[in-house]
Structure 1
Amino acid sequence: MKKTILPIGALLVCATISTSVLTTGCQKNTGSNQQDPGVSSNEDVNTEFTVATANGFAAGTTGGSSPITVTTAAAFRTAAESSSSQLITVSGNLNLGSSQVNVKSNKTIIGANSGSGIIGCLRLSGVSNVIIQNLNITNPSGAGTGDGIEVSGSTRVFITKCQFTDCSDGELDIVRASDLVTVSWCRFRYASQSSHKYVNLIGNGDNATGDRGKLRVTMHHNWYDAGCQERMPRVRFGQVHCYNNYYAASGSNYCVGVGNESQIRVENCYFLNQSNAWKNYSSSGAQGRINWNSGNVFSGTTIPTWAPNSSVFAVPYSYSMTAGSGVPSAVTGNAGNK
């Protein structure tokens, strides 16, 4: 394991460009479909973002390859649910309606610009090799599973630079023996929702022993903003690496939930005025473990005394960390769809 501490303002893995063409490597999106008014060439859209390189547990995830731009919910559903390898650029804010979109394997879904997003639920069930990037995601009506994104029984999933707001169940849940997932540079918030403001559930049952050896998840440089109440994340069984996250949700109940047989490593995070940096949700005989380093910053927050600083899994990949003191500026300046 190789770790590097970056100075304040260190940049994230996703590069932004000002161009009218989306590229991934040296590939240019020139595809179009004249028969579908919701499908166009990326050359017709002001595309600001390039596809980020997956890191953490999701390293090696490549997503889809055949480029297409969609401007309607119907065209998006067709592309996302196809069996083809697709690099789907979302132009506009698309309302998916009352039913979820079941994203298939080998997909990259990326917003064309900071105004791009979806209203509804993206479900990844039993799939692999998916990248979701630069989208504004909301699901206030509880379409599909009620989540913004649900990752269920899926592997090699990389979610980065998204903004989640007011999803009626969870904003982003990772469940049912999903594995090798990274969530980075995302902003989570609740603006209008009055209850169930629960953010990230990793492992959905105390008796879901099939999750053992799975749920390996990296969460870094995420911003838990106003309204987030719990589950940032709450973990059962998984090995979860949390680093450089900014916990700034005033009035939250707790940040990290330590559930049955979980192993959680917390490094160089910033806890601002939090009542509970982490809380115990383990059953008797199935105690989860948490490890934290000296690079965490606890501002107006007390380090919990109920949990020993325990040995957990060894991180199997190289990663670079922002100094804890630099997390607020780095994360608020770069997390979300921008």
Structure 2
Amino acid sequence: MKRLFLLSALMMMSVFQTNLNAQCPAYGWASESGGVTGGGSAIPTVVTTYAELRAAVNNANVKVIHVSGTITFGAGGRLTLNNQNGKSILGLAGARLISTDMSPTGSGILTLRNSSNILIKNITFEGPGAYDVDGNDNMTIDQCTRVWVDHCTFEDALDGNLDIKNASDLISITWTKFQYLKPPIPGGSGGSNDHRFSNLFGSGDDATQDDGKLRITMQNCWWADGVRERMPRVRFGQVHLLNNYFSSANNNYCIYAGFKANLLIEGNYFENVRNPIRLEAGKFTAAQLVDNIFTGVSGTMAGSGMAFTPPYTVNKIATQDVKQTVMAGAGAVLLQPTDCLFLATGEVASKIKSEAKVYPNPAKDQLSLKVFSNENNSPVQITVTDFTGKKEGVVYRGTLKKGDNTIDGISIKNLSKGVKLFEVKTNDNSYVQKVIVK
């Protein structure tokens, strides 16, 4: 059997690329004031049970936690990471935390309180379903600074999927998916029979400690099935909503600009939703819309005012590319917690044998692929598709010698922007290199 291994992809020109084995850099508001490094390169503590997870969360000397497998919380099992600085909770592939508690006090999965420089990544947080008893959220960020939540999935929370409050500041939520897959449970003491309200930033108009805080970036996130409201609902905060995808049909509204909310709503894709923007008359500060796409929507979709200018560098993708890019990459989908991004569908995920690279796309840029063959005169063909399988053509045909081979001069100048899969084929074998062309 002929075998061909794609080992790496290198640029011939000097251009930016993302090294996925290094510490992934935070972006958005969480990149300010030193950024978020979490526990850095500390030796991970791997946890597989609730008792192990609880001990690791509570131990300030444990800087990096790797969550392995599914951990189900018992009654009253909500965990609180309190008064800590510099910590990472990272999911290995498939990591899932589940709460079945439906009580007002014992519900919820994780609260971050009075802590800083915290990284949460690649974990699915699953609640028991929406039941309005004024319970706890799947995750609450309370009086924290410099927190980065990346590539997580939040679903079926009793209360909010992910809420941020109490003067928390410099927060980024990236590549994260919010959804409700379980039907809402009526009859709760809170009064709502359908409390699938995903994200509340700022707990009340009287929470004056939030004034000047709640600086939050939400980028490349996806509000998917079942979300009714709060995508997010904001008070006080300077919130940058960039390159997100909204597709939760039969919702009430998406983004809510509440008391003193200052929102920059930029490059988002709204599809088949109702009331993309809701403004609290006479109370919000700004809800500025820039380069958004609205397709199949109904109701209100107008902004108002000039929002804040972000102090950080914005890495923005074209709005027309947001839907396919976010659907491919949002959620707890990383193969390993050191990855910075994962942009491939399930059909090709099993083929990925190397890291993704990000390339700018001026006409001069060329790709060099280094491959190994165990057979002389091995025929090879390299084709390019996007993540949906749409073909963009053959970029190389030839033969390989036995051992290492470097195929130079593969032009990327004619490729469309977005996620590309360079597939190297010999007869019955196929290996894929992920490439993101910007």
TM interval, short-chain normalised = 0.7 to 0.9
Shifted more, 138-147 versus 216-225: the winner is: 138-147
Match of 2:320 in 1: 325
- Aligned partner of residue 213 in structure 2, secondary structure: coil
Closer, same or farther: CA 196–90 of 1 in aligned 2, 3 Å? same
AA matched with 1:80: V
Closer, same or farther: CA 209–70 of 1 in aligned 2, 3 Å? same
AA matched with 2:168: S
Q: Distance in 2 between matches of 1:175 and 1:13?
A: 32
Match of 2:286 in 1: 289
Q: Distance in 2 between matches of 1:276 and 1:14?
A: 40
Larger radius of gyration: 2
For 1:120-177, what per-residue CA distance to the aligned partner results, in whole angstroms no more than 9, with x for missing partners? 3110011111100000111217899521110011111000101111011000000111
Closer, same or farther: CA 305–61 of 1 in aligned 2, 3 Å? closer
Closer, same or farther: CA 335–277 of 1 in aligned 2, 3 Å? same
Deviation at 1:84, TM superposition (A): 1.6
Percent of pairs identical after alignment?
Answer: 35
Does residue 196 (structure 1) correspond to residue 195 (structure 2)? The answer is yes
User: 5+ residue gaps in structure 1?
Assistant: 1-11, 16-23, 26-50
Deviation at 1:96, TM superposition (A): 2.4
Closer, same or farther: CA 56–14 of 1 in aligned 2, 3 Å? farther
For 1:80-132, what per-residue CA distance to the aligned partner results, in whole angstroms no more than 9, with x for missing partners? 1112251100001111222311124221011111x211113110011111100
Question: What RMSD over aligned residues (CA atoms) do the two structures have, in Å?
Answer: 2.1
- Aligned partner of residue 270 in structure 2, secondary structure: strand
Alignment match of 1:127 (pick from 99, 115, 134)? 115
- Aligned partner of residue 195 in structure 2, secondary structure: coil
Q: How does 1:19-34 map to 2 (within 5 A)?
A: 25=22
Q: How does 1:146-157 map to 2 (within 5 A)?
A: 146-157=136-147
Whether the aligned pair in 2 keeps the contact of 1:122 and 1:149 (CA below 8 Å) is: yes
TM-score by length of 2: 0.63
Deviation at 1:266, TM superposition (A): 0.6
Closer, same or farther: CA 306–71 of 1 in aligned 2, 3 Å? closer
Closer, same or farther: CA 136–306 of 1 in aligned 2, 3 Å? closer
Does residue 90 (structure 1) correspond to residue 67 (structure 2)? The answer is yes
Deviation at 1:322, TM superposition (A): 1.4
Whether the aligned pair in 2 keeps the contact of 1:221 and 1:335 (CA below 8 Å) is: yes
For 1:246-271, what per-residue CA distance to the aligned partner results, in whole angstroms no more than 9, with x for missing partners? 00000111110000011000111000
Closer, same or farther: CA 55–145 of 1 in aligned 2, 3 Å? farther
Match of 1:99 in 2: 77
Deviation at 1:53, TM superposition (A): 2.4
For 1:270-320, what per-residue CA distance to the aligned partner results, in whole angstroms no more than 9, with x for missing partners? 0002210111235x4x33310011x21010125836643x11111010021
AA matched with 1:94: I
Closer, same or farther: CA 124–91 of 1 in aligned 2, 3 Å? same
AA matched with 1:246: Y
Q: Distance in 2 between matches of 1:250 and 1:213?
A: 33
TM-score by length of 1: 0.81
Whether the aligned pair in 1 keeps the contact of 2:276 and 2:301 (CA below 8 Å) is: no
Whether the aligned pair in 1 keeps the contact of 2:205 and 2:259 (CA below 8 Å) is: yes
AA matched with 2:287: I
- Aligned partner of residue 44 in structure 2, secondary structure: strand
Shifted more, 174-183 versus 133-142: the winner is: 133-142
Closer, same or farther: CA 156–14 of 1 in aligned 2, 3 Å? farther
